[in-house]
Structure 1
Amino acid sequence: MTSEKETNSSLLKSQLETLEKSGIKLYLNGLPSTTEYIVKKCVNEDTVYMPDYVTDEEGKVKEIRYDRISFH
């Protein structure tokens, strides 16, 4: 059996790989990133990251920016 963490990791990795291959740029905390690094950070840390979908003038997604969310 796979754990929920492994399932989430596989799903996120698959989605991001598809988007990255289609030319969408990935960022983590304002810096260019990769699918592997984002998956590692989002799934393996006890931190919440929120994706922000940035579009071009035609409404097509051109970037996904994952930013760490702080709870105060």
Structure 2
Amino acid sequence: MEREVQMRHMFEELTGYESRDVKLKMDGYPASPMQIVQAHMLREETVYMRDYILDERGNVKELCFHRVTNK
């Protein structure tokens, strides 16, 4: 149940970014809020790092998720 709530909150957060024309990417490719949430749900053991790209005024213009791997 807790995981479902977290994923719902993540979806709402990402949808909010998308509505403000913030580009969403996952591992370098454009992704929708649903694609990002599904990847987090299906790959529970995988860790993603967020990378916030700002414009010249300091507003978020792009949000990227990068898969973190142990080498």
Fold shared, TM-score > 0.5 on shorter chain: yes
* Counterpart Cα distance in 1 of 2:56 and 2:40: 29
Identity within the alignment, %: 33
Which amino acid in the other structure matches residue 54 of structure 2? T
> What is the alpha-carbon root mean square deviation over aligned residues?
0.9
AA of the residue aligned to 1:50: M
Return the offset for 1:58. Answer: 1.1
Number of the residue aligned with 2:63: 64
TM (normalized to structure 2)? 0.92
Count of paired positions: 70
Q: CA deviation at 1:71?
A: 2.1
Runs of 4+ in 1 over 2 A off after TM superposition: none
Give the drift of 1:44: 2.5
Equivalent residue for 2:10, pick from 2, 9, 12: 12
Determine whether 1:34 maps to 2:32: yes
SS of 2:24's partner is: strand
Residue ranges of structure 2 left out of the alignment (5+ in a row):
none
SS of match in other structure, 1:13: helix
Q: Determine the C-alpha separation between the residues in 1 that align with 2:70 and 2:2.
A: 24
Match of 1:21? 19
